[in-house]
């Protein structure tokens, strides 16, 4: 069905509203039969997502060892948590408060920022392109925060007071962190920092605030289906102890418990392409909870619009030929948005391989 594409965005009900009524049964559009299936979706609750310490990366004495750690976790996991990242606690706290306040407003208030057909920016749900599609148990507010010229302030809530200022500062700080991490990820491969970070200096930083309500049938519902991000990297903030995110490692789902104050970093498909396949883009999904809601703030970091998406030249030689196609920025996004689903096979990264 070539006409269906991810860019169509059919309106569906607010899940938060659905969950606020006494619900005996979840509507069938949300029900899946393989969420807990031990064969297709085995879990390994004994593994723990590795931690990278930014202060050790910045300290000449500990840098080499921590760089090696960063390199191995990007290679073996494609995700890690980062501590001592330098983003002020007070800013993180305020960003959390403002976005929670926003989701707690009545639906009518949130709808002032509703997504428009054909675009995912604004308040609503992700990528709904057919009436048959299985739906995720979540609502979101999606905002293109950077570069400044892409801002559409009609999607930036003016209530609660201070929301815009917090998001403005937060996106700037997360960008600073992302540039630094991308530089170290390049160094971990023996490259110069700028070989990864330069295209992100004027990059795109899209912030998605996710609200996952409690769900009466958590075994048959997902907050977000299994996917890999199409970013360079993604910087994710969990609000509190409510778990839900799982990362796929060697075929197993590993529940993520981020340390208080840490960010979770996920390598996206562009990160995999730039590293010529050395760094993985971790598949991940969100499971839901029968008692508690869960909120997250996710920043998707992309290279600027003129960037070429391809393996870094200095990683390519006769023994290590390029494994991925060279694509223009628009071409890359067109390819992604021409897909029918953001989740499931064939995985997008595989379609970017030269022999695909």
Residues that bind ligand OGA (CB under 6 A): 208, 210, 224, 229, 236, 244-245, 284, 286, 296, 298
| 297 interface partner picked from Ni ion, ligand OGA, none, CB below 5 to 8 A per type | none
When the beta carbons of 229 and 310 are compared against Ni ion, the nearer one is 229
The Cα–Cα gap between 170 and 298 comes to 11
Q: Which residues on neighbouring strands pair with residue 204, listed in sequence order?
A: 302
- Burial class from Cβ neighbours inside 10 Å (0-12, 13-18, 19+) for residue 250 reads exposed
Contact 140, 124 (CB under 8 A): yes
DSSP single-letter state for residue 324: B
The Cα–Cα gap between 291 and 45 comes to 20
- Burial class from Cβ neighbours inside 10 Å (0-12, 13-18, 19+) for residue 306 reads exposed
When the beta carbons of 187 and 284 are compared against ligand OGA, the nearer one is 284
Q: Closest separation between CB of residue 202 and ligand OGA, Å? A: 23
DSSP per residue, 175-232? HHHHHHHHHHHHHHTTS-THHHHGGGTT-EEEEEEEEE---S-GGG-EEEEEE---SS
When the beta carbons of 213 and 244 are compared against ligand OGA, the nearer one is 244
| By CB under 5 A, residue 139 contacts Ni ion | no
| 254 interface partner picked from Ni ion, ligand OGA, none, CB below 5 to 8 A per type | none
Q: Closest separation between CB of residue 1 and ligand OGA, Å? A: 24
| 286 interface partner picked from ligand OGA, Ni ion, none, CB below 5 to 8 A per type | ligand OGA
The Cα–Cα gap between 130 and 277 comes to 33
Q: Closest separation between CB of residue 313 and ligand OGA, Å? A: 29
Q: Closest separation between CB of residue 161 and ligand OGA, Å? A: 25
Q: Which of residues 212-231 bind Ni ion (CB under 5 A)?
A: 229
- Which residue's Cβ lies closest to ligand OGA? 296
When the beta carbons of 95 and 245 are compared against ligand OGA, the nearer one is 245
Contact 82, 54 (CB under 8 A): yes
When the beta carbons of 163 and 211 are compared against ligand OGA, the nearer one is 211
Q: Where along the sequence are the contacts to Ni ion (CB under 5 A)?
A: 229
């Amino acid at each position: 069905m070539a006409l269906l594409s991810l860019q169509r965005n059919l309106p569906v009900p607010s899940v938060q509203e659905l969950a606020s009524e006494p619900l005996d049964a979840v509507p069938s559009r949300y029900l899946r039969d393989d969420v807990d299936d031990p064969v297709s979706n085995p879990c390994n609750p004994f593994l723990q997502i590795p931690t990278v310490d930014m202060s050790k990366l910045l300290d000449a004495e500990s840098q080499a060892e921590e760089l090696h750690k960063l390199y191995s976790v990007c290679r073996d996991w494609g995700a890690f948590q980062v501590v001592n990242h330098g983003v002020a606690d007070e800013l993180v706290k305020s960003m959390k408060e403002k976005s929670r306040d926003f989701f707690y407003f009545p639906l009518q208030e949130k709808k002032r920022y509703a997504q428009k057909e054909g675009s995912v920016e604004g308040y609503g749900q992700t990528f709904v392109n057919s009436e048959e599609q299985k739906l995720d148990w979540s609502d979101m507010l999606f905002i293109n925060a950077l570069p400044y010229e892409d801002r559409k302030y009609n999607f930036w809530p003016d209530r609660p007071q201070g929301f815009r200022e917090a998001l403005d500062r937060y996106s700037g700080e997360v960008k600073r962190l992302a540039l630094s991490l991308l530089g170290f990820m390049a160094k971990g491969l023996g490259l110069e920092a700028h070989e990864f970070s330069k295209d992100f200096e004027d990059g795109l930083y899209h912030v998605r605030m996710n609200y996952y309500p409690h769900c009466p049938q958590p075994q048959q519902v997902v907050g977000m289906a299994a996917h890999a991000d199409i970013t360079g990297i993604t910087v994710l903030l969990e609000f509190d102890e409510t778990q839900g995110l799982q990362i796929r490692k060697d075929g197993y789902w590993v529940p993520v418990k981020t340390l208080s104050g840490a960010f979770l970093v996920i390598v996206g498909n562009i990160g995999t392409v730039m590293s010529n396949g050395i760094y993985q883009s971790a598949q991940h999904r969100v499971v839901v909870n029968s008692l508690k809601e869960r909120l997250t703030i996710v920043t998707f970091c992309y290279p600027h619009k003129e960037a070429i998406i391809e393996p870094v030249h200095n990683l390519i030689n006769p023994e290590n030929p390029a494994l991925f196609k060279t694509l223009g920025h628009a071409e890359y996004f067109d390819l992604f948005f021409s897909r029918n689903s953001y989740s499931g096979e064939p995985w997008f990264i595989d379609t970017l391989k030269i022999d695909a």
